[in-house]
Structure formats: C-alpha cells, structure tokens
Structure 1
Amino acid sequence: MDKTFDKVVGGSFVIQDFDFRSIVTADDLTEEQRMIAETTAEFIERDVLPADEHLEKLDYDLTVKLMRKAGELGLLSADVPEAFDGLGLDKVSSTLISEKLSRAASFALSIGAHVGIGTLPIVYFGSLEQKRKYLPDLASGARIAAYCLTEPSSGSDALGAKATAKLSEDGTHYVLNGTKQFITNAGFADVFIVYAKVDGQHFSTFIVERTMEGVSLGPEEKKMGIKGSSTRPLILEDVQVPVENLLWEVGKGHLIAFNILNIGRYKLAVGCLGAAKEAIDLSAKYANERTQFGKPISSFPLIGKKLAEMNTKTYVLESVIYRTAGLMDAGLADIDHNSPEAGGLSAKAIAEYAIECSINKVFGSEVLDFVADEGVQIHGGYGFIQEYKVERIYRDSRINRIFEGTNEINRLLIPGTLVKRAMKGELPLLQKAQALQGELLQLIPGQVFEGALEEETHLVGMAKKIFLMAGGTAVQKFGPKLEQEQESLSNLADIMIQIFAMESALLRTQKLVEKQGEDKSAQAIAMTRVFIHEAFAEIEGLAKEILSTIEAGDTLRTQLSVLKKLTRRSAVNTVQLKRQIAARVIQSESYSV
C-alpha cells in the first residue's frame, strides 16, 4: 500500500485492459491499516455491541455518547485533514473503519451519515473559515452532522426541491424555508447540510445549526429496519442563516450534492460488505451447529452451495470496493484542502469516478440482499426470529437499494454518464465501438487455454467487446433518444457492473497468485472462475435482449450470430468449484479467501 498508483480515467474499464499491479486490493494492507481495523473492531466489540439492545430502541444520549467515544479513538476523523484536527487518512484506511463499523448495525449508519455525507461537504467544499469552525468539532464528535437533500415531493429528482433561500435586504443572511424528509441523525444532529434554492431557482448549499431560530423537527419515522438510527423531517421556518454559512457558491449546490452522493454511494457499499461478511460468519456457524436427519446441515450440498455463492459474491464485492478506494485515493491525492481552488478540484476528482461509485452502490446493495436472504434461509425458521442477528441484517439491508439514489436511478446514471463523457471527448468510446465493427466481421477462432485464469482473462476481454457491440448499436439506433430507452440502459448498466466486478476479482486474484502461488490462492481462483463464468452467461442474456429490442429480421440474426462468436467458452464444473469453496467456509465458519 506504500505504492502510489497512477490516476485512471473513470469508466475506462469498459474499453481498456488493466494490469493487476495497477490496482489496490484488500490483501495489500499495511501494518498501520491493520491496526486501524483492529482498533475499530475492538471498539465495536467492547463498547457498542453490549449496548446494542438500547441503541435499537433509539436512545439518543447513548448514541451520541458512543459517537464521541468513537471520536476519541479517531474513528470520526479519518477523512478530515490534519490541519483541522483530523487524521487525514487515505480512502483505504477510512474504508476499513467503515467496514468494521458495520457490525454495529444502526449505530454504524449514524456514524456513517456523520463522517460521510454530513462532514465531507465541508471537507471538500467549505471555506477555510468554515473548515476551522466546524471540522475540529465534527472530527471529535463534539458536534454531530446530518445531510438534508430529500424533500416530501422530491427524492430521486433532487433538483426539484422546493426549499427556498432569500438574501436579506442588508445582505447579512439568507432566510430559509422548507421541509426536508428522511434525515438520518436528525434527532441529535447539531449541524445540518441543507440544500435550498436561492430566489427559488439557484440550487445552493447551507450550513444550518440546530440552535438557529426557526429550526424544528418532525416525529421519528417508524421504519422497517435500521431502527436504532434517527430518521426525522427537518422543518425550516424563516431560519436566518448567516451569509458566511453558504457552502461554496450560490448555484453550485448540485455539484456538492451529486459529488457527496458519489462518495455516499461508495461508503454504502462498504457497509454492505461488512454486513455480508457477518451474515456469512453467522450462517456458516449455524450450519455447523444445526443438525437434521442426524448430521449438521452444513454437510448437505445445497446448504454448501448457498455458502459458496454468498462467499463468492462477497469476495467480488470486496475486490470492487478496494479497487475503487485506490482510484479515489489517486484522484484526490494532490488536492490542497487549504487552497481556494479546493472545492472545484474536489468536485472534479470525485466526479471522475461517479460511474464506479454507482457500480459499488448497486452491486454492493444487491450482493448484501442476496447474502442476507440466503443467510435467513440457512437459519430456517430461526432466521425469522429477532433473537437471531441474521433477521436484523435482512431487514436492515433493504434500505440500501433505496437511499443514496435508488438502484434504478443509478442504473440509468452508469451508461448515461459514460455516453456523456464519450460525447465530450473524454473517453474514446465511440471510436472503440467503430473499430470493433470491422473486427466482428472476421471469424473468431477457437482458443485453447492452459494457465490458471487464462480463459477467465479472455472472457473479461470478450465481455468488453460485447458491451461495445451492444452499446454501440444502441447509440447508433437511438441517438439522443437513448435516455428514454430505460430497459436497454438498465441492461447496459448491468453489463458494465458485471465487467467491473469480473475484472476487479480477476486482477485481485492474479495479484494473489503472484504473491503467494496458485496453491495458497486456490479459494480465490475457484471463486473468480465461478463468478466470471456465471456473470458472462448473464452478460450474454442481457446483450441478446438489447439487440432484440433494437433490431429485427435478418439484421437481428446477423447480430446474434456475431454475439454467439463472442460468447464461445468451455463448460466449467461450477458444482465442483462451489463444493470446494464451501468446504473452506464451513471449516473456518467465516468469510474465506
């Protein structure tokens, strides 16, 4: 982790191949990073889990007390620069903290909202004076932050917000009016990052303090899950906010909102990773303890299959997350947060990986939903009982596909952002798609693969060609109207998600093989092979659906014939590979690499 990696163009993974030495993985941690992870895990085990029952009953005082204790340990200050009493850690280190915190369920969400979407707007977009005033207290937990974007009438359409801000006649303050909905930490937050339209049209961001006259809260929402986190409306009635509390500039609120959401999406995926690992641990242990027909249920192949698939998807998610952390570290590395240009530079650096952040969010939330669902199934009737933690993991997981932008919205953003970048000349996407046309008309010979992961490397390359073929055809057919073809966009997004996931797992495993050899990497190799072959089959189906939407008759038959050439692969005994994966998980009673 001492190595500094080169900056990578966001979204370029669909048109470019990468060397495994160029990515960050969860296996590259320094001793210092391991210590940070251990400190976080010890805090959760020692201080938070014993208080879990009280926290789930929405004990504000206890939540704040524990958050301040986390602040004393430095767990709230990872992303705050040292100049403002933070630790200024890299994204990999803050990722480790978030992952380990996830065992604390709702309490982890309270911390996550505070250190992420609550604090980062000031870190990246605040003036020097704002940073000096707020960041030290936010880093220590002396003040708790909340993020206020959603309104009763605007969720996914964030820019449709009705909250208003009007500059006073003497120019000393803005008068804010409006209601914000579903605000995490609202019950005990001291500082609110609020979005409102200046003069009803210029979307802008303000730092609002709880003590300001006219600030009030609605009642707690009665939620399906994450019950220990506070979720209340924030009501603003003629709140006088000093002009120095305007964040960045009038009319630039959308840049703050969307870029902070990018990081929020990434951090959400990190929480999903931690929860998925815990669900695997609980399920493997239960499967070994629970006996039916005279033997532990872990000995039944269908239970083993579940554990293998849970473990495999989690390994791939972990690969995706730490690769993305490395990308963001490289992108944000050279920014001086004391400089006047910090806001613009931060916005640009974060926006670079908007596609990857959305992929993390969609893939992470859906992996956790899968893992939690299978975890409940392994527990049988007991998985439906609150006494068993897997029941809460299942309930808590459901919100992840909704907040930080629904998965549907993110699926539209993934290919939509890619096409916009291509149109601006930031990515040679269309050139690559055109160059592929000539190549596709030639016969693609069958290949013989001998080395470990050789065929899987080939399949990742073919998946990129399939994306360019299907995506290029869609762009040619629909042009600017492509954004209205939501089904095709969603399919293109799913192909992109699978490509990034496949390649991230492949590169990580190749790195492991170089470091420790094939024998010690057998589990990682097996999981990578299973995931790539199954994801590739899914990509084939998605591409067929896209082409069938666009073309018909002989043209469609020709396109499907080309697709068939691109999807040639040998059959793999995934049943045997999954049995191999399951054996390790069952033996260790934990997530296994």
Structure 2
Amino acid sequence: MQKGAMFFLEDIAPEQVFTPEDFTGEHKMIADTVAGFVKNEILPNVEELDNQQEGLMRSMLERAGELGLLSADIPEEYEGSEMGKIAAAIITENVSAGGSFAVSHGAHTGIGSLPIVLFGNEEQKKKYLPGLASGDLVAAYALTEPMAGSDALAARTKAVLSEDGKFYILNGEKIFITNAGFADVYITYAKINGEKFTAFIVDRDTPGFSVGAEEKKLGIRGSSTCSLIFEDAKVPVGNVLGEIGKGHVIAFNILNIGRYKLGAGAMGSSKAALAIAAKYAVERQQFGMPIAKFGMIKNKLAQMAVKTYASESLVYRMVGDIEKALAGKTNGREIGAAIEDYAIECSIAKIHASETLDYAVDETLQIHGGYGYTQEFPAERFYRDARINRIFEGTNEVNRLIIPTTLLRRGIKGQLPLFQAAQALTSEVISLRAKIPTGDEAPFELEMDIINRAKKLFLMVGGSAAQKYMQKIAEEQEIIEILANMAIEIYAMESTVLRARKALEKDPENAETKVELALAYVYDVFPKLDAWAKQALAHMFDGDMLRTNLSIGKRLAKFTPVNLIAIRRKIADKVLDAGKYVV
C-alpha cells in the first residue's frame, strides 16, 4: 500500500499495486451478476425509467437489494454483505451501463448510505442500515444549496435546538438532490445556531420537511432530482450524525468516496460506449466498405480504449490502497483520516474518468454520424447522460483546485517532504539526462524514466510557484490548473505502466495488449506536460530566469517518440475483433 500523494515522491513496485487482473473468483462473479441484472432487467426498461414511470425506479432498486447489490459497503451485522471497497467499485463499474438507474443506485449506496455506515452510532446503524441494504429504505444526500454549490461550508440551512431539548429545528433549502422524489432517508447538513456545520439524518415524514418538484434535466432523466425545503422541520436530537460542528469531516470524506465511485462508474460507461462504437463501425458501410477499416475511425476507437485503460488502472490502484487503509478501522475519526489521506487520488479518479467518458461518448456519437444524433441509437442517450459527471461530486474545476492546494498544505504541515524534494531537485537536475534507447533496455525502463522525469518537472514547476506566490498561490488558478493537470497525468501514466509491468511479470503470454495500451498512453500524454510547464514558467519568469528554467524543463521533458500510429492500429484491430473494450 502506498500512502496518499506519495506517488509524487517515491517509487513503487508493480506487485504493490492492485489491478483488475487481481480480481478474485468472487469479484468476477459479482461483475457477471451485475452485468446480467443490467442487461436483463434494466436495459429493457430504460425508456420507461427515463420517463419516470411511477414506482419503477424504486422497484428496480428493491430488486437490486434482493441480489445484494445495495449492501456491499454495509457490515454483515446490519444485514449487509460487507464485500469491501473493491467489490463495491466493481458493482459501480458494471451498473453504469444502466443509465439513469446507475445514478439512483450510486446515490443510494454511496453518498446516501455510507455516512451512516462510516459515521453513524450503534442506534442509527441498527435503525437504518438493514433497510438501506435491502432496498426497503432509499437514501439521498443533501448538501448543495442555492448559494452553496461546491463551496459547501457556505451553507445557510440553520439548525436551532428546541426549548425542550428534544429536537433541532431546521430552516433552509437544498437543491439538485438525487433520489429526492422517492427517498426515505436524507443525509442533510445544517449549521447549528448558524455556526457549527453538522450532519443530520432526516426522515421523509419529518414535520416541516417537504420535497419540491422534479427538475427537467438534459440527461439522466430517469433519476429523481428535486429540491428539499425545511420550514421549522423538527429533527430529533438522536438524528445528529457524527459530532456537532464536525459535519465537514463527514461531508468531505463522503465526497471523496463519491468521487472515486463516480470514477469507477464513468470508466464502466466508457467501456460500454466503446462497445457501441465498435459494433456500429463494423456494421456501417461507406464507400463500399465498413467504416471500421478507415484509419481515422480506428484512431478514435484506439484512443477511447487507451484512455479507458488509464482510468481503469488508476481507479483500481487507488481503491486497492483505500481498502487496505480502512482495514480494521471502526472509529469515525480514524476512518475520516484514512479516507482524507487519499483525497488527491479521489479527485484525480473523478476528473480523469469523467473526462475520458466525455471523450468516449463524443467519439461514439461522431462514429454514428447523423444517426448518433437521433434517439433511435443509444449514442444519443450516452452523450446526454455523461455530461453531468464533470459537475457531480464537486465540479472538475473545484477538484483541480483540491489537488495542488492539498499537496501544498501537507507540505507546509510537514506531512509530505514536498519542499525538500523540490529543493533537492536543484542539485539533481544538472546530472539528469533522458535515457537514450539502445534496444537492450528492460521492459518499460524508458517509460519509467519518462515518468520519473515527469515527477521532477512537476516538482520544479510546483516548487517555483510555491516560492513565488506563497500564501497567494490560490489566486493563481491558471497555475493551479496546470499543476493539477500534470499531477493527474503523472498518476495515470504510472498506473498504466505499473499494471502492464505487473502483467508482464505474472502472465507474459497475455500481456501484449496491456503493454500496447500503456505505451500508447505514456507517449501521447508526456509531451503535454512539457507544454503545460512552459506555460507556467512563462507566466512566472522572464529574461534570464525564464531561459534558465526552460533549459531545465527541456532536459526533463526530452524523449524519443515511438510509432503511435502503428500501436493504435493494433489496439483498434483487437477492439474491433472483440467488439468491445479488451485488455
């Protein structure tokens, strides 16, 4: 297990990283069960779900509960299946092909149920978790307000203790709440006396609580999205969740889990989109041949597969680390600290997978041509449904802010030897040289050298920014965005290469495609880091200082290209032969 954010500063061996090739027989059985459920029960009803047929979504959630698909994170003592974080991610990945159902399922099992699982007291767990595990109860998560979207701590919903001390009286409004229309249990946040940000469990029948009308949305139309209104709502004091004034611990850590789960779901949707695109490319004839034979179409399919491979590799790498980090922890504070340790990786997973999905659905629609723009083909629904993922669980812009600022905060507190590494780079950089290909390299020796230099390039730019702007760096959002982009791609590159190296060591006969996917990703992405670094340096320096830093950056960013076109053609041919994402 690698501690959170340490991927910037230390090497890790392939065998230390969890990958999909490590799935157990039980994991594979879970994946097959979910895929079968979606294929046989969700997809035949997808139009009815999108039209919000009365009671259908709720009945589908209850059916998922019967199959154990709502209880992976719930302990057995509360009638859950307690399958672990990896199994829960597998469920999320495979349910994603179910469109709007996946959104309702994710809101219930993730951000809806997990606050009680991780932070509830014994009485709360006994009261709510069995029903949440079975689907008899449906959960929702209520954080967003009209004036407090990504800035959650700006919430205005207020809680005041009643005169008899038995209730908190809540007043305020929450908006854009998934599952709101039919949920029974709402995890809600309010400020006690307008100051202490605190979590509450609100039951649907709470006096003074009501649900607004359904929102009319671009996509995910089958999911319920409503506002919640609190008008002197009487919430029992026993429904305070966690510690008074510590609601942010629950809110932010549940969002962290929501982010990596969203990453798993978006990655699963990318696989589904690729399968649709590959099938259509083989069937569609133009100029006397299937469009699958055209180089530009092959390039699109290959790029979809490569980006999806990177998302899949980094998502399961971090879920494996989180599962180990949470092992044996039952105390709310310990759980919160363990999850928070991986906040950077959670944001990376959310950003990378959601943007990969947007790329995948856009190219899927493009491959369908005019037909992709019609509701006759699934590409149109995939395109609409995907767009929300860059907004859910904190916008991608906010998540990009989280990555460098969290790194810098940990460096200042001495939790990460970040500044020491940046200072050491000054003496290292004189002797740093890119490895020159000789043909005698060990597998991925050149690529690991590229990743190592990418990390040093990040440290150079980040260290310069921290030194120049210090406490005012938050005002330099363009620099923060560049650092976030570099961090995302470093983690993605390393995850793909570690996975391919592990496959080569364990099962070399079946590692060829993973090797091709990893190479295609590294050599496509690495030049982007050079371009981002130049933008940042040109903003921070001028004259001789700029020339000196650009010279160092050039040394760190040097590489020998590979034949990406040939590699992508091989990948595309395999995707077309299989008719789906293949590794």
Please report the TM-score for the alignment, with normalisation by the length of structure 2.
Answer: 0.98
User: Per-residue displacement from partner, 1:408-466 (whole Å, max 9, x unpaired)?
Assistant: 10001001001111111111111011111111133636533523322111111110110
Secondary structure in 2 aligned to 1:459?
A: helix
Match of 1:422 among 396, 399, 411: 411
Structure 1 residue 568, shift from structure 2 partner: 1.5
Q: Which amino acid aligns with 2:46?
A: D
Match of 1:511 among 486, 493, 502: 502
1:339 corresponding residue in structure 2: none
Contact between 1:215 and 1:234, CA under 8 Å: does it hold in 2?
A: yes
Q: Which amino acid aligns with 1:533?
A: Y
Q: Determine the C-alpha separation between the residues in 1 that align with 2:553 and 2:547.
A: 10
Contact between 1:119 and 1:145, CA under 8 Å: does it hold in 2?
A: yes
Structure 1 residue 17, shift from structure 2 partner: 1.1
Structure 1 residue 187, shift from structure 2 partner: 0.6
Q: Determine the C-alpha separation between the residues in 2 that align with 1:478 and 1:563.
A: 20
1:46 corresponding residue in structure 2: 40
1:296 corresponding residue in structure 2: 290
Secondary structure in 2 aligned to 1:427?
A: coil
Q: Which amino acid aligns with 1:45?
A: K
> Taking structure 1 as reference, are residues 443 and 408 closer, same or farther at Cα in structure 2, changes over 3 Å only?
closer
Q: Determine the C-alpha separation between the residues in 2 that align with 1:234 and 1:59.
A: 22
Q: Determine the C-alpha separation between the residues in 1 that align with 2:358 and 2:434.
A: 40
Alignment of 1:368-407 (within 5 A): 368-407=357-396
Alignment partner of 1:535 is 2:529: no
Alignment of 1:262-301 (within 5 A): 262-301=256-295
Alignment partner of 1:453 is 2:444: yes
User: Per-residue displacement from partner, 1:226-258 (whole Å, max 9, x unpaired)?
Assistant: 000000001111111110000011111111110
> Taking structure 1 as reference, are residues 300 and 218 closer, same or farther at Cα in structure 2, changes over 3 Å only?
same
Secondary structure in 2 aligned to 1:165?
A: strand
Structure 1 residue 60, shift from structure 2 partner: 4.1
Q: Which amino acid aligns with 2:66?
A: E
2:543 corresponding residue in structure 1: 553
Q: Which amino acid aligns with 1:250?
A: I
Alignment partner of 1:56 is 2:50: yes
2:102 corresponding residue in structure 1: 108
1:323 corresponding residue in structure 2: 317
Alignment partner of 1:575 is 2:565: yes
Alignment of 1:72-471 (within 5 A): 72-336=66-330, 342-442=331-431, 444=433, 446-449=435-438, 450-471=441-462
Q: Determine the C-alpha separation between the residues in 1 that align with 2:170 and 2:218.
A: 32
Unmatched 5+ stretches in structure 2: none
Alignment partner of 1:21 is 2:19: no
Q: Which amino acid aligns with 2:374?
A: I
User: Per-residue displacement from partner, 1:82-111 (whole Å, max 9, x unpaired)?
Assistant: 111111112111111111101110011001
Secondary structure in 2 aligned to 1:121?
A: helix
Q: Determine the C-alpha separation between the residues in 2 that align with 1:95 and 1:222.
A: 29
Q: Determine the C-alpha separation between the residues in 1 that align with 2:537 and 2:328.
A: 43
Q: Which amino acid aligns with 1:473?
A: S
Q: Which amino acid aligns with 2:429?
A: L
Please report the TM-score for the alignment, with normalisation by the length of structure 1.
Answer: 0.97
Match of 1:490 among 463, 481, 488: 481
Structure 1 window deviating more from structure 2 (439-448 vs 263-272): it is: 439-448
Contact between 2:400 and 2:484, CA under 8 Å: does it hold in 1?
A: yes
> Taking structure 1 as reference, are residues 446 and 132 closer, same or farther at Cα in structure 2, changes over 3 Å only?
closer
Match of 2:31 among 24, 27, 37: 37
Contact between 2:298 and 2:569, CA under 8 Å: does it hold in 1?
A: yes
Q: Determine the C-alpha separation between the residues in 2 that align with 1:41 and 1:106.
A: 15
Contact between 1:60 and 1:188, CA under 8 Å: does it hold in 2?
A: no
1:524 corresponding residue in structure 2: 514
Count of residues in correspondence between the two structures: 581
Contact between 2:455 and 2:490, CA under 8 Å: does it hold in 1?
A: yes
> Taking structure 1 as reference, are residues 558 and 113 closer, same or farther at Cα in structure 2, changes over 3 Å only?
same
> Taking structure 1 as reference, are residues 30 and 246 closer, same or farther at Cα in structure 2, changes over 3 Å only?
same
Q: Determine the C-alpha separation between the residues in 2 that align with 1:192 and 1:177.
A: 15
Q: Which amino acid aligns with 1:288?
A: V
Contact between 1:60 and 1:187, CA under 8 Å: does it hold in 2?
A: no
User: Per-residue displacement from partner, 1:541-574 (whole Å, max 9, x unpaired)?
Assistant: 1111111111110110011011111111112111
Secondary structure in 1 aligned to 2:22?
A: coil
Structure 1 residue 213, shift from structure 2 partner: 1.2
Q: Determine the C-alpha separation between the residues in 1 that align with 2:75 and 2:329.
A: 11
Secondary structure in 1 aligned to 2:20?
A: coil
Secondary structure in 1 aligned to 2:21?
A: coil
Contact between 1:148 and 1:194, CA under 8 Å: does it hold in 2?
A: yes
User: Per-residue displacement from partner, 1:176-235 (whole Å, max 9, x unpaired)?
Assistant: 111100000001000000100100111111000001111111111110000000000011
Secondary structure in 1 aligned to 2:580?
A: coil
Q: Determine the C-alpha separation between the residues in 1 that align with 2:553 and 2:229.
A: 55
Q: Determine the C-alpha separation between the residues in 1 that align with 2:83 and 2:510.
A: 31
Q: Determine the C-alpha separation between the residues in 2 that align with 1:322 and 1:120.
A: 19
User: Per-residue displacement from partner, 1:244-302 (whole Å, max 9, x unpaired)?
Assistant: 00001111111111000000111111110111000000000100000001000000010
Structure 1 residue 527, shift from structure 2 partner: 1.3
1:3 corresponding residue in structure 2: none
Q: Which amino acid aligns with 1:428?
A: P
Contact between 1:79 and 1:87, CA under 8 Å: does it hold in 2?
A: yes
Secondary structure in 2 aligned to 1:147?
A: strand
Structure 1 residue 115, shift from structure 2 partner: 0.4
Q: Determine the C-alpha separation between the residues in 1 that align with 2:561 and 2:27.
A: 41
Q: Determine the C-alpha separation between the residues in 1 that align with 2:78 and 2:12.
A: 37
Aligned-residue Cα RMSD (Å) equals 1.0
> Taking structure 1 as reference, are residues 290 and 443 closer, same or farther at Cα in structure 2, changes over 3 Å only?
closer
Q: Determine the C-alpha separation between the residues in 1 that align with 2:136 and 2:19.
A: 34
User: Per-residue displacement from partner, 1:15-62 (whole Å, max 9, x unpaired)?
Assistant: 111110001001111111111111111111222111111111012411
Q: Determine the C-alpha separation between the residues in 1 that align with 2:40 and 2:433.
A: 59
Q: Determine the C-alpha separation between the residues in 1 that align with 2:281 and 2:433.
A: 46
Contact between 1:125 and 1:248, CA under 8 Å: does it hold in 2?
A: yes
Q: Determine the C-alpha separation between the residues in 2 that align with 1:132 and 1:308.
A: 49
Aligned residues: percent identity?
50
Q: Determine the C-alpha separation between the residues in 1 that align with 2:76 and 2:502.
A: 33
1:68 corresponding residue in structure 2: 62
Structure 1 residue 586, shift from structure 2 partner: 1.0
Alignment partner of 1:585 is 2:575: yes
